[in-house]
Amino acid sequence: MSPTSKWRRAAIPAASLAAALALAVAAAPAQAVPLPTGPGTGQVPRFTGHAAAPRPVPGSEIHNPFMAQDGRSAMHGDSYASNTQPQNGPLGHSPAVNSSSKVTDPKDPAQCATATFLRNGLMVLNCGGASHHPTLRLEDPATLEDLASYPLPVRPSTYRAAATHNPALMFSDTSGSYYYLDNQDRIVIAGADQHIQRLTVHRTRSGRWEFEQADSWDLRPYLPHVCATAADPDPQGECDPVTAVQADYHGLMWWASDHGRVGTVDPGTGAVRTTALPGEQIENSFSTGPDGAFIATDHALYKMHAAPDGTPRTDWRETYDRGTRTKPGQINQGTGATPALLGNGYVGITDNADPRMHVLVYKRGNHVKDSRLVCSVPVFRPGAGATENSLTAWGNGFSVENDYGYTSLQNTQGGRSTPGGITKIEVNKAGTGCRVAWTSPEQSPTVVTKLSRSNGLLYAYSKPSDSSGTDAWYLSAIDWRTGKTRFRTLTGTGDAYNNNWSPITLGPDGSAYISTYGGVVRVHDRAGR
């Protein structure tokens, strides 16, 4: 374990690329600065539809005993990657919007990919940008003010992108995006330096909040680590960054790397065990349930368990149709979905087939009669369907969002949008097949949707096409049962409001949070607030 270190209330100052990659730290802003409003705000409706009445959707609760409360612990809500939360969300009662810019350099916005909530209600964000250190930020959930900041290691792709003037290298790198809160409110994150850190958050006697590193585990002995640095942005050798880390139901910390390595860390002994999936890439997170870990590569879906010594072992492997190309809207030629677990029996991903993508549902058990594949359901129009987000899974249904056509901010500028569409499929009671329950026409280019199990609304982030050229972004609430949009509320106009692959997260007070290209947006009902 590395020595304990502390980073007090701080933020990274605006600077050139070379200077910003240094370890300079400055004081955090006193209050949140709202996101800038783009042109055309007064030309689009601020609210459409009607306020919704809550209609809870029944289902078995999800609780990994080694992770924080269901709905607060990870980007996808829980260890099942269900993208559901027990919290309420906005119902459309005179919704209010406030925002906070996280931009330290106008040419380099800081986007916050993952949001989680501590027991005290404060929000933790994992933020990054092209020309400065990624940071963990502690946020006031109402004002979105930064309360503390903790610098994380710069990703090697950032150095390579700067040296080659190719920003696509950063945007296709998902390493370090996925962290989790454990059952003691500690942040567990794998950094670009191939270490897993465990951090605590506490308040000092002076009243300042700070992050403190409690533990660190070095994975470099188990991973190729000839990685780009400021001094050598294009080294000759392999660098295998860690994509995600998550706890299983026995307390082991599992991790997966970009180049197809899977490992565990015993947090009690520090023992590390690994296995390799040669020739396969892992660019998504993974899920864990009582029955094991579920990992999707660009070739296959795996169910694994930990051997007595902690070594990951494969229970089963199912290949899928990975198509012939990386479609616009995807990072690689494979599934764009983190495996989503449904109840006690199913796991779902998407394939990358041509001409239509399919939702694939599998039986999770180690021994099944006949085929493990329950169904393969084609979704969206031929030649215009792809996803780079995990499914939302609850009850007997999975929903999938169409990200086809989104490669950069330019795809949603000047009133343009992507083909869009959100489809829900349902598994029949016998578990022998599936059907399309509904398809919504919502144009939601890249968001990780979230379902509030308390009110039955699926929240998406919509960007309707607009012939006038206005780029308006809306939080949209879709009825999980029918697929009908109940309401939309305007968050803002312009690129600063583009979520650019980040999720929606529902907070303990029923607010919806959307990380955007310029910062963070909060939507909440005025009534009763």
> In DSSP terms, which residues pair with 256 in a beta bridge?
244, 262
- Side chain identity, residue 136: L
119: which 2 tokens?
A: 């027991």
- 146: which DSSP letter? E
Q: Kindly report the CATH class assigned to 6-45+64-205+218-525.
A: mainly beta
Residue listed under structure tokens 């989680």: 116
- Which residues, listed in sequence order, are joined to residue 482 by a DSSP beta bridge? none
The domain segmentation of the chain, as residue ranges, is: 6-45+64-205+218-525
**Whole-angstrom Cα distance, residue 187 to residue 254?**
14
Residue 84 has pLDDT above 90, yes or no: yes
Q: Which two tokens stand for residue 496?
A: 């600063």
Q: 288-302, 320-334, 461-475, 515-529: which has the minimum mean pLDDT?
A: 515-529
Mean residue pLDDT of the chain comes to 91
pLDDT digits (tens, 9 = 90+) for 9-57: 333 233 332 333 332 233 344 489 999 999 999 999 999 999 999 999 9
Instruction: Dihedral sign for Cα 218, 219, 222, 228, please.
Output: negative
Backbone angles phi, psi at 176, to 5 degrees: 80, 0
Tell me the per-residue pLDDT of 229-257, one tens digit each, with 9 for 90 and over. Answer: 889 988 999 999 999 999 999 999 999 99
**Spatial contact of 229 and 215, defined as CB atoms under 8 Å apart:** no
Find the length of the chain. 529
Q: What are phi and psi of 412, to 5 degrees?
A: -120, 25
For residues 395 and 56, the answer to whether their CB atoms sit within 8 Å is no
154-212 tens-digit pLDDT: 888 788 777 777 766 666 677 778 999 999 999 999 988 999 999 999 999 999 999 99
Residue 7 has pLDDT above 50, yes or no: no
Task: Output the CA angle 182-186-189, nearest 5 degrees.
Answer: 85
Among 108-122, 144-158, 160-174, 289-303, the minimum mean pLDDT is found in 160-174
